Structure 1
Amino acid sequence: MVAQRGGRAGDGEQGAALQLWLGSWLAGLKAGAYAVDAGGAIVALNSEAEALLARSAEDLLGRDAHDFLHRDGNGMTIPRSECSMMEAFIARRTRQEDLGYFERGDGTLLAMSWLATPLRISADEVGALVVFHEHDSAGSSLQGPALSVELLSELERLALLAETTTQLTSTLDVDEALDRLVRLVVPLLADWAVVDLIRDNDEVWRTVVAHEEGGRLVRRKDLEGAMPPVPQASPQPLSRALRGAGSTLATPETYQGPPDSGIAVEQRRLFDSTHMHSAVIAPIRGLREVLGALTLGRSDRPESFTGADIPLLEDIARRAGLALDNARLYQRQRKVAETMQRHLLPQMPRVPGLEMATRYLPAPHASQVGGDWYDAFYLPDQALAVVIGDVVGHDLDAAADMAQLRNILRAYAWSHQEPPSVVVSHVDEAVPHISEVEMATMIFGRLETDAMGQWTLRWTNAGHPPPLLVTHDGQSRYLTDGHGLLLGTHISMPREDATVVLPPLSTLVLYTDGLIESPGRSLDEGLERLRRNAASLAHRPLEGFTDLLMERARPEDNDDDVALLVVRVPSEDGPPI
């Protein structure tokens, strides 16, 4: 039986993992075990620990293990700076001692032998697992039932595999996953880590060659890069792994004979350059295909890999394969989604004297397209329609709804020579009957110039963030007039139009809420950040203005798409439409 503290390690997968380790691996042993979180508080224990300590789980859970239990031979509390168990806990190292003392519930001392090892409590929290049993004064405690080298190795293996799963499955970026993989195994298991990945068209790329140097990981870029094709009949370890065969041990002698392929030549070069004397090579398999191979090598430490090391490496490679498979699928879907989104967005018309720039960025943590869009097109009277909009949703349906709404708006704007407010009202009335759009925001405006070259914007706003106008000398203000209800409310209310004269060389910024909203700050803060950055960039050429504005104003914790349409009017002597 394993008791756990609610709200911490007992929650979700971490609680299940603790129960597995303490229950399945230790319940059959006559040994006490408890887990502590990063602060040293007890978060789980087994029934043997309750019996040995003469304390109930309710009495132990949530207590600081050091203050509550650790004592010297006289029953006095040990200063933390002098406690060897605390030293191991703080250093995140495994340590065991033959004799120590815990205070029992009845006030007596339990003379015990103990082992402490780091234990991942959650994705970002490392605590410790303490295993202990009553000290055997007649002989070595290692002859007792609990603290064997095999147990230590098994605990460390489980902890490493759990951390591998947590680290690799918490990212959908291939490069980040590989970096985490290398840091998990070097220098813990090996001096070198090599990752070969199979790309499209069965091309092999030596993606990572890394080792520890002065306490940090160093990449050997000269050994990375394109690899020869995988031979179909070679018995050599890497060739076999890249074909999905079993894991194999390798030494420099493995590749000293006449090479049977280009890969064998590269492997000889790898061993010569890294001075690895022993390596183990395992395939990295996805759900449907072989993704590559993972090689761990030793050059500094004298111990060679043995067949007993292969199961652990295969477990790590298996988890790496699942993570890389997910990351590749995500990136493939994301690329397709971005391509679809960009094809749905229109090309901007060429307008004499008028500069326009557009940008679209998908949500950084989403694999699907969204409903943000921009548009600009000529109207029958040669005015220029400008649009920015956002359909509710972040999926393929939202993108399809966006395309429907854009087409409906274009049709009404072209066929109805009426003010923007009237056009948008017609669109709002029609959308529920001829499209799947449920709710959306939009700014629809008309840009036109008179014979003197003076530009005027007339617009209406259906629940969208207000346009931003920046003059050439850096003055900036939001155009808050003309604001009305978003589309899809089914509320019949008159919409308003607003008009503003655009000064020469001024810049009009139309954007979606992904540029100003984030979980970490208020909407007012986002608007102010956008305004100040736009003002500071007023003298920049339009393309540079747009790129830098997107870079500086977009929140770091943004989780939404961003569409941006920027228009700059010409100087006073610029040509009219």
Structure 2
Amino acid sequence: MNVPAGDAGRSLAAEGERTFQLRDLSDAATYVVDDAGHIVGINPRAEQMLNRAASTLLGKDAHDLLHRGKYGESLPRSRCVMRQALISGETRQGHQEWMERGDGSLIAVSWMVTPCRIGEGGQGALVLFHGESAPTHAEGQPRPSASSMPELDRLALLAETTATLTSSLDVDETVRQLIRLVVPLLADWGVVDLLTEEGGVARVAVVHYEHGVRVHRRDLEGPMPPVPQESSMPLSRALRGVTPALVGPQDYQGSPDSDIAVRQRELFEETGMHSATIVPIRGVREVVGALTLGRSERSGAFTSADLLLVEDIARRAGLALDNARLYERQRRVAETMQRHLLPTLPRVPGVLMSARYLPAPDASQVGGDWYDAFVLSDGATGLVIGDVVGHDLDAAAGMAQVCNMLRAYAGEVEKPPSEIVNRLDEAVVRMAETTMATVIFARVEQPAGAWRLRWTNAGHLPPLLVERDGRARFLDDGSGLMLGTGLPAAREDAAVELLPGSVLLLYTDGLIESPGHSLDDGLARLARYASSLVDQPLGSICDALLAGVRPSDNDDDVAMLALRIPG
């Protein structure tokens, strides 16, 4: 909850003690945190010792802002004894912990943390501290309670968590890797609940380690009831981003306060978990979900030190999931924009056309591939295939600009393809954002009864022409520099007759390129497949080429435009 700056008169009550106000503690530096660890009150003495104004402290996470190691390094939550005192809900005290002051210097403090009530029914903790003039190690100084893992193994696990979870930009893969990291190392059961973009909750993973393998309990996964803001049950609190908790079946023996608490009680009954940790999964801006780790077969219960470790793991998972969701949103935006820009193919008497667009399988690999077809002012049909360099939203935006300019220039005057593309190249160089692209612009025309293709190629892969008898050849003529280089380009036009029954294919590199094979191998494969399909319906040819030619290890998008002269 938010507390106005300077509200040192806020009423608080220590557990079992009289009501008091922060201004009553004039000799001790004091601040108050809510159940999420955010500072909600501070007295003048603490402002003075920390060299920080209340306005810079209120609402901030006390651990992230203040708690440091002895050399000023950021302190992992799993090693912070003051953080452990907060989540344990017990009164604890200690010596020679370090806080960072407003000027970046460190101050060694002795401290005490005790639970308190905030306002009407709110829970938090009161932190009192004073500086140590001679920092020395104090006998009996509290340290994190015993953990099921040695310290070096804990640090290694956190390092592996960071490296593993940041290697993927796919939400499902990140969840799978998270479960793999903690089950069975820390728990027999791993449960992940994620908040959906629509505001609901989905239980996306329930995994049990049995007989040496991780088994997904699909029957326990699926949509979850909504999270009531007033619920005090551990899962509801975690999904709201408040303090993590050590939980057991006893926490769900009373009357549940919500439907989601009923589902959680059923989870404990079904799994037989006798000890569990429930921690929020926090992203950069908001809570992403919650992680529940449970023990049913192993006898040891989770400790508060284990809880801090799981909290650290969940924070790393939250950042990874946040990034994955961001990339998925970016992909949806770019893909929607691309699909809206891709045209409805015109009906041209005497010509059949079909097109396909396939987005990249990786959410991060949004490209700038496009196709276009339109009737020109002189009755000819314009064909375009292009690819803006890059695999991100900028590439998709660049594609939209290049596509629209080409349409405008081609429809303005009746000029050869090479002159249209030269004019387009001049415009691309002047674009505010540096853009490079490959493109083929072609005219399909019937000047004297026979159909003819006239085209120019700005750095793109050559069109493929397959005759009625299956003979295939790549149209390598008319090739020149790609768009956006800023170099002078002497572009040429090329022409070829389109015989009845022949199929023309324009495509982007996502159809044939593969990290494991050469470009020539991909072109040869395309020619073989297309030759064997020439007598199929045009749409079936496109589908078969996507299924049979596109390499499985290609993470690029694909645009394809096919044309047939019926015979």
| TM-score normalised by the chain length of structure 1 | 0.67
Provide the residue aligned with 1:280 in structure 2. Answer: 277
Unaligned ranges ≥5, structure 1: 1-19, 25-148, 573-577
- Given candidates 395, 419, 438, the residue that maps to 1:441 is 438
Answer yes or no: is the 8 Å Cα contact 2:438–2:458 preserved in 1: yes
Provide the residue aligned with 2:494 in structure 1. Answer: 497
Provide the residue aligned with 2:295 in structure 1. Answer: 298
Provide the residue aligned with 2:402 in structure 1. Answer: 405
Q: Deviations over 1:209-245 (max 9, x none)?
A: 1112332221111111111111222221111111112
- Given candidates 242, 251, 260, the residue that maps to 2:257 is 260
Question: 1:325: Cα distance to partner?
Answer: 1.0
Unaligned ranges ≥5, structure 2: 1-70, 76-145
- Given candidates 551, 554, 558, the residue that maps to 1:562 is 558
Does residue 1:205 correspond to 2:202, yes or no?
A: yes
Answer yes or no: is the 8 Å Cα contact 1:364–1:560 preserved in 2: yes
Task: Give the % identical residues.
Answer: 63
- Given candidates 498, 505, 527, the residue that maps to 1:531 is 527
> Residue type matched to 2:261 in 1?
A
Structure 1, 348-357 or 278-287: larger mean CA deviation: 348-357
Structure 1, 346-355 or 322-331: larger mean CA deviation: 346-355
Answer yes or no: is the 8 Å Cα contact 1:285–1:291 preserved in 2: yes
Provide the residue aligned with 2:465 in structure 1. Answer: 469
- Given candidates 239, 242, 247, the residue that maps to 1:242 is 239
Q: Distance in 2 between matches of 1:196 and 1:492?
A: 57
Cα gap change, 1:389/1:183 in structure 2, threshold over 3 Å: closer, same or farther?
same
In structure 1, the residue corresponding to 2:316 is in which secondary structure? helix
> Residue type matched to 1:375 in 2?
D
Answer yes or no: is the 8 Å Cα contact 1:470–1:538 preserved in 2: yes
Cα gap change, 1:244/1:152 in structure 2, threshold over 3 Å: closer, same or farther?
closer
Provide the residue aligned with 2:89 in structure 1. Answer: none
How do 1:384-423 and structure 2 match up within 5 A?
A: 384-423=381-420
Cα gap change, 1:151/1:402 in structure 2, threshold over 3 Å: closer, same or farther?
closer
Does residue 1:157 correspond to 2:154, yes or no?
A: yes
- Given candidates 475, 478, 493, the residue that maps to 1:482 is 478
Q: Distance in 2 between matches of 1:431 and 1:244?
A: 48
Provide the residue aligned with 1:40 in structure 2. Answer: none
Provide the residue aligned with 1:510 in structure 2. Answer: 506
Q: Deviations over 1:298-328 (max 9, x none)?
A: 1222222233321111111111111111111
In structure 2, the residue corresponding to 1:303 is in which secondary structure? coil
Q: Deviations over 1:390-427 (max 9, x none)?
A: 33444454444433333333233223324333433444
Q: Distance in 1 between matches of 2:391 and 2:474?
A: 27
- Counting matched residue pairs gives 424
> Residue type matched to 2:192 in 1?
V
Q: Distance in 1 between matches of 2:480 and 2:553?
A: 29
Question: 1:510: Cα distance to partner?
Answer: 0.5
- Given candidates 162, 166, 170, the residue that maps to 2:167 is 170
Answer yes or no: is the 8 Å Cα contact 1:425–1:495 preserved in 2: no
Q: Distance in 2 between matches of 1:477 and 1:467?
A: 9
In structure 2, the residue corresponding to 1:202 is in which secondary structure? coil
Question: 1:466: Cα distance to partner?
Answer: 0.6
Q: Distance in 2 between matches of 1:249 and 1:435?
A: 55
How do 1:353-392 and structure 2 match up within 5 A?
A: 354-365=351-362, 367=364, 369-392=366-389
Q: Deviations over 1:144-165 (max 9, x none)?
A: xxxxx98971111111111111
Q: Deviations over 1:34-82 (max 9, x none)?
A: xxxxxxxxxxxxxxxxxxxxxxxxxxxxxxxxxxxxxxxxxxxxxxxxx
Q: Distance in 2 between matches of 1:169 and 1:465?
A: 35
Question: 1:294: Cα distance to partner?
Answer: 0.6
Q: Distance in 2 between matches of 1:485 and 1:150?
A: 64
Structure 1, 361-370 or 276-285: larger mean CA deviation: 361-370
Question: 1:273: Cα distance to partner?
Answer: 1.7
- Given candidates 546, 554, 559, the residue that maps to 2:542 is 546
| TM-score normalised by the chain length of structure 2 | 0.68
Provide the residue aligned with 1:72 in structure 2. Answer: none
Cα gap change, 1:308/1:535 in structure 2, threshold over 3 Å: closer, same or farther?
same
Q: Deviations over 1:338-382 (max 9, x none)?
A: 222223333322334643332334455564754332110001222
Answer yes or no: is the 8 Å Cα contact 1:192–1:211 preserved in 2: yes
Structure 1, 287-296 or 366-375: larger mean CA deviation: 366-375
Cα gap change, 1:502/1:486 in structure 2, threshold over 3 Å: closer, same or farther?
farther
Structure 1, 194-203 or 349-358: larger mean CA deviation: 349-358
Q: Deviations over 1:244-294 (max 9, x none)?
A: 121222222322322211012111221222222222111111121111111
Q: Distance in 2 between matches of 1:315 and 1:188?
A: 15
